[in-house]
Amino acid sequence: MYTQSLSIPDGDPKGPRKVENPEYEAEFNARIDAGGFIEAKDWMPEKYRKTLIRQISQHAHSEIVGMLPEGNWITRAPSLKRKAILLAKVQDEGGHGLYLYAAAETLGVSRDELTEGLLSGKAKYSSIFNYPTLTWADIGVIGWLVDGAAIMNQIPLCKCSYGPYARAMIRVCKEESFHQRQGYDLLLQMMKGTPEQREMVQDAVDRWWFPSIMMFGPHDSDSVHTETTRWGIKRISNDDLRQKFVDATVKQAEVLGVSLPDPDLKWNEARGHYDFGTIDWEEFWDVVGGHGQCNVDRLAARNKAWDDGAWVREAAMAHAEKQAARALAA
């Protein structure tokens, strides 16, 4: 019901729906100002549509590529329990990707075009997944910090003005809490283990902390969000979300018994928030630009999976067509 074209009655006084039209635009803005939702077949400015396609598909690609660093440890999970949990978590991320692709497709882009964007490297995904998972502790830290940061980012999106995206995000957010908790639980268990295991946890925290707080994106002073804010797509700024995440995480690190690798991290009574040190944005842009440790591997893995699966997709389609022809003949 979302991607097939709707026939427009001839002689529509407002003209073709896709064309920019001040009357439509006024209605659209009024609905957003009233806190209402825009649905798939409603008129929307082309730029709103394009911005959403870019954001939702980047988000979907991140979920899909995000399966790779954790998938790396499924066969090496230290117990059957942890293996079952990790499998379920990674499967969820695949599901999130699929919810989001479906939401993007409601905007009139095909799944094949979206896939092509990822495989060709034209579309971006979250830079965090270009870091390697070196030890089992990384799996716990990803759940705790990376999923934790993702949750902060995603909760405001449940109220985004585009209905299909907002609904997909509600589904995603319901599942994310398990991701963060299983990661923290895994780390708690390791912290009760040997000194080597505790060191492993601290090492993982040291490597993932700054990349995790970079996940919120550039500082507000360096990013342009006027339109996404105007349109109710982005509701809370990068810096505000980052601050919220830092404030929430300090206590969790304390309970866990690890230190966060930032000497400038301290409570600021006047602000009522934690201050933290300078973020290395050069590293951030480097990874975005394709020069992270795993960019090449991630894209290669996705391309291989797509190519290796081609014969299955074709065979399934050929079988379905044959069955349909047979049913018609009978």
| Residue 84: exposure state from Cβ atoms within 10 A (0-12, 13-18, ≥19) | exposed
Does 112 contact other proteins by CB under 8 A? yes
Cα 161 → chain centroid: 18
Pick left, alpha or beta for residue 272 (phi over 0 → left; psi -120 to 50 → alpha; otherwise beta).
Answer: left
Does 23 contact other proteins by CB under 8 A? no
Does 273 contact other proteins by CB under 8 A? no
Which of these, 89, 97, 59, lies nearest to 72 by C-alpha position?
A: 89
CB closer to Fe ion, 98 vs 301: 98
DSSP assignment of 241-278, as one string?
HHHHHHHHHHHHHHHHT---S-TT-EEETTTTEEE---
Does 105 contact other proteins by CB under 8 A? yes
| Min CB(150)–Fe ion separation in Å | 6
CB closer to Fe ion, 176 vs 262: 176
Residue 124: name its binding partner from other proteins, Fe ion, none (Cβ under 5 to 8 Å by kind): none
Note whether 250 and 274 are within 8 A (CB): yes
Does 304 contact other proteins by CB under 8 A? no
Interacting stretch for other proteins, rule CB under 8 A, among 58-66, 146-154, 243-251, 312-320? 312-320
- Determine the length of the chain: 330
Q: Tokens for 211?
A: 């990349």
Which amino acid appears at position 236 of this protein? I
Interacting stretch for other proteins, rule CB under 8 A, among 47-55, 111-119, 243-251, 255-263? 111-119
Which residues from 57-76 bind Fe ion, rule CB under 5 A? 63
Which member of 91, 223, 268, 293 binds other proteins (CB under 8 A)?
Answer: 91
Interacting stretch for other proteins, rule CB under 8 A, among 4-12, 153-161, 234-242, 293-301? 4-12
Which member of 25, 175, 203, 283 binds other proteins (CB under 8 A)?
Answer: 175
Which member of 193, 275, 313, 325 binds other proteins (CB under 8 A)?
Answer: 313
129 vs 67: CA distance, rounded Å? 9
CB closer to other proteins, 296 vs 315: 315
Contacts with other proteins, 117-146, as mask; x by CB under 8 A: --x---------------------------
CB closer to other proteins, 178 vs 283: 178
Cα 278 → chain centroid: 24
Which amino acid appears at position 9 of this protein? P
256 vs 95: CA distance, rounded Å? 30
Cα 304 → chain centroid: 22
Does 302 contact Fe ion by CB under 5 A? no
Q: Which residues 6+ apart lie within 8 Å of 187 measured at CB?
A: 137, 140, 141, 144, 201, 256, 258
| Min CB(111)–other proteins separation in Å | 5
Residue 70: name its binding partner from other proteins, Fe ion, none (Cβ under 5 to 8 Å by kind): none
Q: Are strands 266-268 and 273-275 parallel, antiparallel or unpaired?
A: antiparallel
Number of Cβ within a 10 Å radius of residue 155: 18
Binding residues (CB under 8 A) for other proteins: these are 1-4, 6-9, 12, 14, 17, 39, 41-43, 88, 91-92, 95, 98-99, 102-103, 105, 110-112, 115-116, 119, 167-168, 171, 175, 313-314, 316-317, 319-320, 323-324
